[in-house]
């Protein structure tokens, strides 16, 4: 009988311990769903974006390869393909599968930085204002990716640059809420309000760039001077946001175009910072705070694009102030490119899922956790006998997004609330719905009877989900005997 319970064992240790049981089933589903994708039948039609859809940023996913030292540490690749990721449950030998509805390009470990650059960064040459930033956890390959793309971009830039224009660049790093000039003795730089709602870097040095070689040399020199420290995940982890801003000037020194490259510091989980000293902990808190501010800005931009009247919180962090012109300017067209780097390791599965959920939010999509879980037998030989899937699992209201909540409401008591769906707030998801008192529901629906009935439905459905969870655990116990 195989029943592993939470007894002083963390997820990383657990997955490493049972690596040999997880890998065969992951391989089976990797092949199965890769075939489905080739047949164009793997994703619901609602996941496919129209050609005319415009998002706040062009998004690209890059998965780094597994390293030799990771294999020797009993790690394994849990990332199946462009849209699926597996992660193991801590209570029992269970494999969960989540689907991420990307209609963007996904670059795996077999692709090169040149492939990524051709699809992403090269396009910003045709825009007056462009911003490229790498986002992902510590050790997922952000700095490697950005450095390679700078080399390729610089060659394309000077090949197409008219002789009447010249290029200048500035290199700064953001540590906490302080900005420093990397090529001017690390002097502090001010971020001030401009005259037209923009934010301006002040007292920083601009360097004239004559060719691609000089651009690359300065970028890598400045990058070598940024703040780095060894962490649990990465022996040379960047502890600051590195921002390289390039300005293309006309003969009269007026700005023709501005391009910004931002190598963001890596986000960290609590377990990653467990052995940090007080200084490293403060760094991690500041990094995570600024990244959260950036995520809040992007979520607000998505809502604004949907027509919601919302304030964009650019002032929440100096990072978001500096990057503001990558999302909006008054006169000139902008293009923002987000390159999300992810780690394939099983121990990083939750962090990878977190990254991909934020990426989905940028594209106004919701990720999909499939009903049912894959449950292992002790011996995995024949795939059809190797797992058991529990069908028709009810999804708790607290786990439902807005669209799923509205669908659930439309089915309450045979659809009595279909004509009242517009009365619910635009930001109400399932979790918020469960917190509404009976009186509040009566006010929303403008009916004491409907409010009372809905509150009772919420209670009944929640009880049913809880009961099903108990039955689910009992089923797992029987299967694993």
Binding residues for ATP: 136-143
Please tell me the distance from the alpha carbon of residue 19 to that of residue 445, in angstroms, as a whole number: 52
Instruction: Say whether 88 sits in a helix, a strand or coil.
Output: strand
Beta bridge partners of 349: none
Numbered residues of the known binding site: 136-143
Are the beta carbons of 378 and 2 closer than 8 angstroms? yes
Locate tokens 């931009």: which residue? 301
Please tell me the distance from the alpha carbon of residue 317 to that of residue 294, in angstroms, as a whole number: 8
Torsion over CA of 280, 283, 284 and 288, rounded to 10 degrees? 180
What are 287's two structure tokens? 């990094």
| CB neighbourhood size of 310 (10 A) | 14
Angle CA 26–28–29, to nearest 5: 65
Please tell me the distance from the alpha carbon of residue 359 to that of residue 345, in angstroms, as a whole number: 19
**C-alpha separations of 206 from 184, 242, 325 in Å:** 10, 16, 18
CA 254 to chain centre: 36
Locate tokens 């005319």: which residue? 52
Angle between helices 142-160 and 212-224 (to 10 degrees): 160
Among 297, 165, 323, 188, residue whose Cα is nearest residue 244? 323
Instruction: Say whether 344 sits in a helix, a strand or coil.
Output: coil
What are 457's two structure tokens? 């439905």
Please tell me the distance from the alpha carbon of residue 313 to that of residue 318, in angstroms, as a whole number: 11
Please tell me the distance from the alpha carbon of residue 61 to that of residue 356, in angstroms, as a whole number: 9
**C-alpha separations of 304 from 13, 207, 356 in Å:** 43, 37, 21
């Amino acid at each position: 009988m195989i029943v592993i319970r939470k007894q002083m064992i963390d997820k990383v240790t657990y997955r490493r311990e049972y690596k040999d049981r997880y890998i065969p089933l992951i391989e089976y589903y990797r092949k199965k769903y890769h075939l489905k994708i080739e047949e164009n039948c793997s994703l619901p039609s609602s996941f496919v974006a129209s050609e005319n859809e415009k998002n706040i940023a062009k998004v690209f996913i890059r998965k780094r390869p597994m390293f030799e030292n990771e294999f020797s540490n009993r790690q394994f690749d849990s990332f199946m393909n462009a849209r699926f990721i597996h992660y193991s449950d801590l209570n029992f030998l269970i494999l969960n599968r989540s689907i991420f509805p990307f209609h963007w390009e996904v670059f795996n470990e077999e692709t090169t930085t040149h492939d990524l650059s051709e699809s992403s960064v090269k396009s910003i040459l045709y825009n007056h204002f462009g911003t490229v930033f790498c986002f992902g956890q510590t050790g997922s390959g952000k700095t490697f990716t950005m450095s390679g793309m700078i080399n390729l971009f610089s060659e394309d830039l000077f090949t197409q640059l008219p002789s009447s224009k010249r290029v200048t660049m500035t290199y700064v790093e953001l540590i906490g809420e302080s900005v420093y000039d990397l090529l001017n003795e690390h002097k502090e730089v001010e971020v001030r309000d401009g005259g037209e709602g923009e934010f301006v870097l002040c007292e920083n040095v601009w360097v004239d760039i004559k060719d691609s070689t000089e651009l690359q040399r300065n970028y890598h020199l400045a990058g070598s001077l940024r703040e780095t420290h060894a962490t649990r995940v990465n022996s040379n982890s960047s502890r600051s946001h590195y921002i390289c801003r390039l300005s293309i000037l006309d003969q009269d020194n007026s700005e023709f175009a501005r391009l910004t490259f931002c190598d963001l510091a890596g986000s960290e989980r609590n377990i990653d910072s467990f052995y940090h000293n007080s200084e490293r902990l403060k760094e991690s808190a500041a990094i995570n705070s600024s990244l959260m501010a950036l995520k809040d800005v992007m979520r607000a931009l998505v809502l604004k694009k949907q027509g919601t009247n919302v304030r964009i919180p650019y002032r929440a962090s100096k990072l978001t102030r500096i990057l503001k012109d990558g999302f909006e300017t008054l006169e000139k067209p902008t293009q923002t490119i987000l390159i999300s780097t992810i780690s394939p390791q099983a121990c990083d599965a939750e962090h990878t899922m977190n990254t991909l959920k934020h990426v989905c939010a940028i594209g106004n999509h919701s990720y999909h956790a499939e009903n049912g879980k894959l449950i292992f037998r002790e011996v995995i030989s024949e795939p059809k006998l190797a797992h058991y899937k529990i069908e028709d699992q009810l999804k708790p209201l607290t786990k439902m997004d807005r669209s799923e909540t509205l669908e659930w409401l439309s089915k309450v008591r045979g659809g009595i609330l279909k004509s009242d769906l517009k009365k619910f707030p635009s930001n109400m998801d399932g979790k918020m719905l469960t917190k509404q008192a009976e009186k509040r529901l009566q006010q929303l629906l403008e009916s004491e009877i409907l409010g009372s009935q809905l509150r009772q439905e919420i209670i009944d459905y929640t009880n049913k989900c809880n009961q099903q969870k108990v039955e689910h655990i009992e089923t797992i116990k029987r299967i694993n005997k």
